[in-house]
Chain A
Amino acid sequence: MIQINNLSFSFAASEIFNGLNFNVTRGEILSIIGPNGCGKSTLLRLLRGSLKAQAGEILWENIPVGQIPAREMACKVAVVPQSSAISFPYKVRDLVAMGRYPHRKNLLSFQDKADLQAIEQALVMTDILPLAERPVTQLSGGELQRVLLARALAQNGSVLFLDEATSHLDIDHRIELTELLIRLNQEQQTTIVQISHDLDLAAAISQRILMLTEHGNIAAIGSPEKVMTAANLQRVFRVDVKVDSNPFTGAPQIVPLINNSTHQLNGLKIHLICGGGSGKNLLRRLHLAKAVVTAGPLNRGDSDESVATVLNIPVAQELPFSPFAEDTLVVTEKLIEKTGVLVITTQWWGAGNLPCLDLAERAIQQGTPVYLLAQQQDQDYTDGKAWGRIQQLQQRGAKAIRNEEHLLDALSNLTTSI
């Protein structure tokens, strides 16, 4: 529908695009992502012809964009701007009515039936009917954004350009608007090109994603699964993230690794015996504190195992829902032999994981420090066997630790003393 051939554009001295090639297909949702200042908004302007490219061409159904009159263009494509400073107190309804401008026959004509219907429908769809008589200067950022979307809907174009249109919205309206976009796309085959900073949302709703580098080159274009990879995100945004798939929708989901750790465990080797979700928080915290972490034994599918995999932590794996086999324990023991510290999380003890305590005992014998994180007698389902072993470990020198915070303190002391 829109073809971009060899597009080049620069502002005064700085080059924004140099030889961009891609196209927008009819009826798709295409999200443009990229770091700040890479020219996403400029690209949208070029696409709708409000900026002129220095070289290359943009074709709308084979017609160069420069040859399409402004009014005809406004009937094809509606734009929801980033935000605009509103200084004139138009009523919401009047502002939405401005979207009908390109459909007016002449300047003197008043709103006809189609206009009124389109305006009413836009107000209803964006949930701002109750605001219709309010002056736009009195609205919150999110309300205003919905008004701007309503104005675009009133335009009734077959293409919708959104420049971070959901950025000021709270979660319920963000979801609602996203659903609205999907509905427009599916029911009216509206082609949607949006700039988004919400990468997860972009991945969830887009058929294709266009990822731009900070120099305005195409880093990747294609399906969300293909584009949203940790490697691409690292290259383009210079961030350390993990990409997981959303457990409910299957869409790629970005797990940012925000370093909120005050502890620094520079390279300390730690093995974690955990399971059943008892270790996932600690795994993350240790990873952020830059410890070298290993874990296991863990059953595949255990939530701790998923976290460890996302964080690229080596795990001694066991089949799902099986007791730990001899082989697995051997693998674990090898991991423990290489580690500097062994940590046992607060977990439920049963026949399945009881052998782990033997591994701990051997570690003590080898002089590896062992930390027992807040063990509870009532979580022992082995008729006291596990609890007895834990007491025994403590007598042999394993340290009982009250919570994760204390554990991290103890570990960082260990690092500094080395």
Chain B
Amino acid sequence: MSKPVKANKRWIWQLILLASPLLAILISLSAGSLDLSWRELFAILLQGPGTDIEQVIIWQIRFPRALLAGLVGAALSLSGVTFQAVLRNPLADPYLLGVSGGAALGAVTALTCGFQSPIVIPLAAFVGALTALLLVYLVAQAHTCSTHTLILSGVMVGSLAAALLLFLLWRAPADATRQAIFWLAGNLSLADPDWLSWGWLWVGIGFLLLWSQSLNLDLLTQGEETAADLGLQVGSTRLILFVLAGALTACAVALAGLVGFVGLVIPHICRHLWGPGHRLLLPFSALLGSSFLIIADAIARSLYAPAEIPVGVVTAILGAPFFLYLLRRKGGDL
């Protein structure tokens, strides 16, 4: 009788997960320097947007902020799932292929050149991330573009970017350095709210395209040769997936800096809960990833309110112990 119980449990988990972003948004709305009881919060929500100070805070500050966190969490989880499958490596994360280094280099270059605008920095990060990805792919493609070459060239491009970054920081004025570090640790307060809808559009399209590749992702987890034997055009499919995951990561990094851990840990948890089939894994990872980051951001905003700690710190402190717990229970067989 153990099986049906398990199946039941799975359904309950799935329902909880479907509802989790809503719950997370509610928690996020209630968190911050302005203390609101749940009753007050619901009252304001029912009133809708308005000019009251509370209405403004909830609808124009906290709500977009929660949506931004959700967007970044979803993008990172989706690209984590993709990279782990394409590279067949459970340790792969969205930043493995030099994306983080490239984005950081772009953003910090912009910062040290004196640009403070919330428009320029995300753009610079985005361009940096895509440049790094392109470089990695070109290097790897000169050879057979195997997963090993991809990972190695990713690590190399990443370290090159890191070295240049350190050089820039060493030369930069103290003020810019402090801001850069804040950005590097992952931060949701820097993005311009105008970017939000564009970001959601970007991630939405990215998700749909990725989702259409679910079966191909399943096949790629079996290795290039097997995938090809089963009729998959490995080269072009991998390029498509690589570009999609890279674009999602670049978007997340541009909006929120380097938020660590979400892209590594969320895919693992989801695979543990729903198995490795990508038709379910992709949407569920997106949901869980956004919920996780929304809550992490709420914690980041409220712990030292009105000051904020970088959200990357919170994700790692929440995520690492949970990951270790899973690892201990399942013995590495995640």
Contacts and interface: CB of A to CB of B under 8 A. Distances in A.
Interface in B260-304: 271, 275-277
Interface pairs A-B: 9 shortest CB-CB: A74-B231, A102-B231, A71-B231, A88-B276, A79-B229, A88-B221, A101-B230, A70-B231, A74-B230
B146 interface: no
A389 to B, nearest CB: 72
B275 A98 contact: no
13 contacts: A48-B229, A50-B229, A72-B231, A85-B223, A87-B88, A87-B221, A88-B271, A88-B276, A90-B276, A90-B277, A94-B275, A98-B222, A101-B232
A101 B333 contact: no
Interface string A68-104: 0011111100110100111111110011001101101
Contacts of A75: 231
B231 A90 contact: no
Contacts of A73: 231
B187 to A, nearest CB: 34
A155 B231 CA distance: 10
Contacts of A114: none
A107 B213 contact: yes
A189 to B, nearest CB: 21
Contact of B333 (A81, A84, A137, A155): A137
A216 to B, nearest CB: 20
A108 interface: yes
Interface string B217-232: 0110111011011111
Given A70-B228, A73-B231, A101 B88 contact: no
Interface of B: 85, 88, 90, 212-216, 218-219, 221-223, 225-226, 228-233, 271, 275-277, 333
A40 to B, nearest CB: 15
Contacts of B90: 87
Given A88-B276, A89-B275, A90-B276, A101 B228 contact: no
The contact size tier of chain A is 20 to 34
Interface string A41-61: 000010010100000000000
Contacts of B233: 70
A50 B231 CA distance: 11
A57 B32 CA distance: 71
B229 A74 contact: yes
Interface string A91-125: 10011001101101001100000000000000000
A75 to B, nearest CB: 7
Contacts of A137: 333
A89 B271 contact: yes
Contacts of A74: 229-231
B276 A101 contact: no
A342 B283 CA distance: 84
B226 A81 contact: yes
A89 B271 CA distance: 9
Contacts of B213: 107
Contacts of A70: 228, 231-233
Nearest to B221: A88
B219 A98 contact: yes
Contacts of A85: 223
A254 B271 CA distance: 49
B219 A101 contact: yes
A107 B219 CA distance: 12
Given A74-B231, A89-B271, A101 B215 contact: yes
B275 A90 contact: yes
Nearest to B333: A137
A45 B271 CA distance: 32
A91 B275 contact: yes
A333 B222 CA distance: 69
A90 B233 CA distance: 22
A104 B276 contact: no
Contacts of B216: 107
Contacts of A98: 218-219, 222, 230
A84 B222 contact: yes
A84 B275 contact: no
Given A70-B232, A71-B231, A94-B275, 16 more contacts: A72-B231, A73-B231, A78-B229, A84-B222, A85-B223, A86-B222, A87-B88, A88-B85, A88-B221, A90-B218, A94-B277, A95-B222, A98-B218, A98-B219, A107-B213, A135-B275
A84 B220 CA distance: 13
Contacts of B230: 74, 98-99, 101-102, 155
Contacts of A107: 212-216
A72 B232 CA distance: 10
B231 A89 contact: no
Nearest to A103: B231
Contacts of A48: 229
B223 A84 contact: yes
A50 B225 contact: yes
A79 B232 CA distance: 14
B156 to A, nearest CB: 22
B218 A108 contact: no
Interface string A134-160: 010100000000000000000100000
Contacts of B271: 88-89
B276 to A, nearest CB: 4
Nearest to A95: B222
